[in-house]
A and B are shown apart, each in its own frame.
Chain A
Amino acid sequence: MQIRAASIGEAVPAESFDAVIHSAFESAVNMRLMSEDRLITLLISDRYKLPQGIHVTQKDTPLQALEPGRLAACRGGILRFDTFPLSIDLRGAPVWKCGVAGLMMEMDLPSAQQAWSTAWDVLNRRQRRTNCDIIADDVFRLQAGSVLGQRISRPVLQLVASADAFDAGHSIQAAETMIGLGPGVTPSGDDILIGFLAGLWSLSGEHPKRHSFIRSFGEGVLQIAQRTNEISRTYLVHAARGQFSSALSALVENIGTGGDVEQAAQDAMRVGHSSGMDTVTGLLAGLAVWNAPTHPYPIHLHEGKPNSGKSYGHIATSD
């Protein structure tokens, strides 16, 4: 069976590489590149794209037959698998690049703030409806019900506050207590960090101070990424470089341009069991940094909602 790749992510080697199957899922197979010790992903999807992804649209591509440990090799743009009759033609496949880092989002625009609020409402509704451990509203009020929610709430607030103050040291400290935390192959803590980085990258624009902070924080995230599993680490590594999934990119763009935020948020949240929702939680937190009027917690402050207690940067939390 030979199929053509519909597109490839910018982090996929162009022509020749050797890899070994790392893990196989129903619609995705991760391969560890032998030369670089990082994962790339063969993914069946007509819409969802990854920076490290080789995307095919043929639904009956037999990915589950590719067991971990099997060798894969790409020569001259054709990816083949050891003793398995499947080849993927990467030649001529368009290269998909994530545009988040170049977006120059302006979150002080009323349209962007409105879009942010819409996304926030959609997120919280879905999290509550699906009984998620992490509910974004609760995280920012330190009122989380689940053990995981309580555990993750404080570092998230610390992350927002320290990023707002350009304090990379405290941001990394917060990230350390989140990394690898939670259920799933990409734990919730990692997903929130990935989303948070997406928010920061989209706001980086032409601000040297923001760039400098994101670089330092990204470096820190790369250092501590060893504390989570290889799959999740891959997403974190790309996030630190400003590379995110197409679903997350589309949501960021729609918030910035006043597009169909509700649909984009639903698409982004549909990833995994709770991964998508956790990532969107992180994204909306990231988008609120450096933009006081749209900050999730201050929004409630402005509306006269109660708060008191310890302060992380300028953010008050009910300690």
Chain B
Amino acid sequence: MATLQRVIKNLYRDSVSLMQFSEKLRALDGIQQASAVMATENNISLLVEAGLLQGAVPPSPNDLLIVVEGREDSAVVTALDQVEAMLKQKSAEPAEGGVRRVPPSSIQMALESNPAANFVLISTPGEYAAAEARKALQLGLHVMMFSDNVSIEEEIPLKRYACDHDLLVMGPDCGTAIINGIPLGFANVVRRGDIGVVAASGTGLQQVTSLIDRLGGGITQAIGTGGHDLKSEVGGITMLQGIAALTADPATKVILLVSKPPSPDVMKNVLDTAARSGKPVVVEFIGADPAGITSGNITGVKTLEEAARASVLLSQGKPLKRFSKSLPARYKSLVAPAKKKLKKGQQYIRGLFSGGTFCYETVLLLSEALGKVYSNTPIRKEEKIPNVWKSLEHTVIDLGDDLFTQGRPHPMIDFRLRNERIVQEARDPETAVILLDIVLGYGSNMDPAGELLPAIQEARNVAAKAKRSLVFVGSVCGTESDPQSLSRQESLLAEAGVLLTDSNAQAARLAAAIVS
């Protein structure tokens, strides 16, 4: 009888594998007993006790000890060699006839492993994105370019090539889309339905799709165009393609377009195409006069909330109503108690936004209600805030601006910058209302309320020390099906005393009413 052992340094295999190896060893010809265990003091002592290990072996708990007992030395040595070779073999290697699967490192490779794919999401540094998009288009794939910092000179030929080949390029800088029910980028989990959206604004798209979901409607497709698409040079290629696609889609009953006002030539082209669609089209060109847009099958609206409401009414075959500019009663009742909390001198709104479109819509609505509103995305040049790091009178800041995101994640993900600013605003004796947007969905922080609450509390403490109170107003953009859960986030914020409205527009109006 021969017994031999071998120690294999720093080798870890899961318990099931080790059991299987021991069993395989025992099944080998001429082998009576075998064991593969970690070389701990207690295991060595157990093997000695069991008579399987003759002399003491120095313990080395991170190593694997294989002990084999057989009829002859040669059989035992062969068995040990075999098991060592088996153990050292990478378990991934022999998976499919000796061919190891390598994760795809190019679009071409990915297409080979998934030949049915017809869509590519590109998220590389901007300098590489156009080249990757071109490769994808040449392979016959639709493209979503999440990447920004792609020049308009690169964007135009990509979009023209795509248009000529009946392909779609969403982006560059397209952060949000919902295609065939799949949220892409920063997007919410919304019900499927009969409203198709084309939007040049990421958070605008998130707001309308989330509100449509809240109102009981649903989405067929939500196509992002990227922020440059409606400029004269690009000509709205993707928006026009999007309208055409939704027109041809029998599941889409209503088309909704969202963008800042396009250049006049592009606006005419877009509205003409929308008119020819033969379907009801709701248009929210944020900041443009709805009356100048409404005509025939096209309904112009003033806010993202109105856009969602109008779309749902149309999809339900109900008549469109005139949307009121005043606060709904349920929010009006919040105004007087909030006003009571404020001391003399507390008179300004400080809006701290993570969504660019939310910020812009707020600036527009507050300007209408209050006059001058300073911002880094102002509607009038003279209201550009001189120092973005310090608020001045009514100030609304887009913290997603490049200036704030260089070297740090977007404020929808990373709340540190906004939290610091909340506390900073609390120190200003003129601050009355801190106005916030909270964006849920894929891509966003998994617990925005959890991130904000400590800062809100700290801000309240800072104000309380100066014998002041602060009013927090906000709206949560999201749905119950989002990973963060709308109701959970809203209840956490409401418990912390944040006055919540269903939409960004209502939040802006509530804030304005409190300081009016």
A180 interface hit (Cβ, 8 Å): yes
Interface contact B42-A178, CB-CB below 8 Å: yes
- Interface-lining segment among B242-250, B292-300, B376-384, B408-416: B408-416
Give the docked Cα–Cα distance between A274 and B18 (Å). Answer: 11
Taking a contact as CB atoms closer than 8 A, the residue among A86, A228, A272 that contacts B14 in the complex is A272
Q: Is A85 an interface residue (CB 8 A)?
A: yes
Within 8 A of B (CB), among A86-143: 86, 91-94
A169 within 8 A of B: no
In the complex, A315 has a CB within 8 A of chain B: no
> Contact at A180–B49, with CB atoms within 8 Å?
no
**Quick one: which of B16-34 are within 8 Å of A by CB?**
16, 18-19, 22
A91 CB contacts on chain B under 8 angstroms: 409, 413-414, 445
Stretch from A60-68, A213-221, A281-289, A298-306 at the B interface: A60-68
Q: Which residues of A contact B414 (CB under 8 A)?
A: 77, 91-92
Q: Is B91 in contact with A183, judged by CB distance below 8 angstroms?
A: no
Main secondary structure of the interface of B (DSSP, over half): loop
Cβ contact within 8 Å between B61 and A181? no
Q: Which among B18, B41, B91 has the highest number of chain A CB atoms within 10 Å?
A: B41
Q: How far is the CA of A138 from the CA of B461 in the complex (A)?
A: 60
Q: Is A229 an interface residue (CB 8 A)?
A: yes
- Closest residue of chain A to B408, judged by CB? A76
Find out whether the CB atom of B103 lies under 8 angstroms from the CB atom of A86.
Answer: yes
B16 neighbours in A (Cβ, 8 Å) = 272-273
A302 to chain B, nearest CB (A): 33
A227 with B61: CB separation less than 8 A: yes
CB closest chain-B residue, reference A61: B103
> Given A182-B43, A187-B43, A228-B40, does the pair A92, B445 have CB atoms closer than 8 Å?
yes
Q: How many chain-A residues does the 8 Å CB contact rule pick out? A: 47
A239→B295 CA distance, assembly (Å): 69
**A177 and B409 form a contact (CB under 8 A):** no
Residues of chain B lying within 8 A (CB to CB) of residue A67 = 90
How many A-B contacts at CB < 8 Å in the complex?
Answer: 119
A26 touches B43 (CB 8 A): no
Complex: how many Å from CA A184 to CA B16? 8
Q: Are A148 and B409 in contact (CB under 8 A)?
A: no
B37 near A183 (CB under 8 angstroms)? yes
B19–A151 touching, CB < 8 Å: no
B85-107 interface mask toward A, CB cutoff 8 Å, 1 = contact, 0 = none? 00000111000000001110100
Say yes or no: is B505 at the interface (Cβ < 8 Å to chain A).
no
Contact for B92 among A64, A68, A93, A184, CB less than 8 A:
A64
**Residue pair B41, A180 in contact (C-beta under 8 Å):** yes
A92 touches B413 (CB 8 A): yes
Q: How far is the CA of A233 from the CA of B40 in the complex (A)?
A: 12
A246 at the interface (CB under 8 A from B): no
Asked if B445 contacts A184 (CB within 8 A), the reply is: no
Contact A229 B40 (CB under 8 A): yes
- Complex CA gap A93/B105 in Å reads 26
Q: Which residue on chain A has the smallest CB distance to residue B101?
A: A62
A316 at the interface (CB under 8 A from B): no
Could you tell me the distance between the alpha carbons of A150 and B40 in the complex, rounded to whole angstroms?
A: 18
A263 CB to nearest chain B CB (Å): 22
A229 contact from B50, B62, B102, B123, Cβ within 8 A: B62
A85 and B42 in contact, given A151-B49, A227-B59 (Cβ under 8 angstroms): no
Chain A 16-31 interface residues, beta-carbon cutoff 8 Å to B = 22-23, 25-26, 30
Closest Cβ–Cβ distance, residue B63 to chain A (whole Å): 8
For residue A184, which residue of chain B has the nearest CB?
B15
Residues of chain B with a CB closer than 8 A to A64's CB = 90-92
Cα of A104 to Cα of B101 in the assembled complex, Å:
49
Chain B proximity mask over A147-173: 1 for CB below 8 Å, otherwise 0: 110010000000000000000000000
Q: A2-B123, A179-B42 are in contact. Are A23 and B12 (CB under 8 A)?
A: yes
CA distance A184 to B20 in the complex (A): 11
Is A189 close to B, CB under 8 A? Answer: yes
Instruction: Decide yes or no: A230 and B62 within 8 Å by CB, A148-B46, A187-B43 being known contacts.
Output: yes
**Cβ-defined contact, A25 with B42, below 8 A:** no
- B10 interfacial contact with A, CB 8 Å: yes
B446 contacts partner chain A, Cβ-Cβ < 8 Å? yes
Residues in A neighbouring B446, C-beta threshold 8 A: 92-94
A-chain residues with CB within 8 Å of residue B18 when the two chains form the complex: 183-185, 273
Contact A92 B92 (CB under 8 A): no
Q: Which of A2, A91, A185 has the most C-beta atoms of chain B within 10 angstroms of its own C-beta? A: A185
Complex CA gap A147/B33 in Å reads 14
Is there an interface contact between B92 and A185, defined as CB atoms closer than 8 Å? no
- In the complex, are the beta carbons of B42 and A177 less than 8 A apart? yes
Name the residue on B nearest A30 (C-beta): B12
Q: Which residues of A contact B19 (CB under 8 A)?
A: 183-184, 273
Contact A179 B40 (CB under 8 A): yes
Q: Kindly state the separation between the CA atoms of A240 and B434 in the bound complex, as whole angstroms.
A: 45
For B59, the chain A residues whose CB sits under 8 A away are 180, 227
Contacts known (A147-B46, A273-B16); A68 close to B38, Cβ less than 8 A? no
Q: CB < 8 Å: which of B15, B41, B101, B102 contacts A275? A: B15
Residues of A within 8 A of B46 (CB): 147-148, 151, 181-182
A187 lies within 8 A of B49 (CB)? no
In the complex, what residues of A have CB within 8 A of residue B92's CB? Answer: 64-65
* Docked CA distance A151–B42 (Å): 10
Whether the Cβ atoms of B42 and A147 lie closer than 8 Å is no
A275–B16 Cα distance when bound, in Å, is: 10
B residues near A202, Cβ cutoff 8 Å: none
- Chain B residues whose CB sits within 8 angstroms of the CB of A183 once the complex forms: 15, 18-19, 22, 35-37
Q: How far is the CA of A228 from the CA of B12 in the complex (A)?
A: 13
7 contacts between A and B (CB under 8 A): A23-B12, A94-B446, A147-B50, A183-B35, A184-B37, A187-B42, A187-B43
> Can you add 15 more A-B contacts, CB < 8 Å, to A181-B46, A229-B62?
A2-B123, A65-B103, A86-B103, A91-B409, A92-B444, A94-B447, A151-B46, A178-B42, A179-B40, A180-B42, A184-B37, A184-B38, A185-B18, A227-B41, A272-B16
Chain B positions within 8 Å of A, measured between CB atoms, are 10, 12-16, 18-19, 22, 35-38, 40-43, 46, 49-50, 59, 61-62, 90-92, 101-103, 105, 123, 408-409, 413-414, 444-447
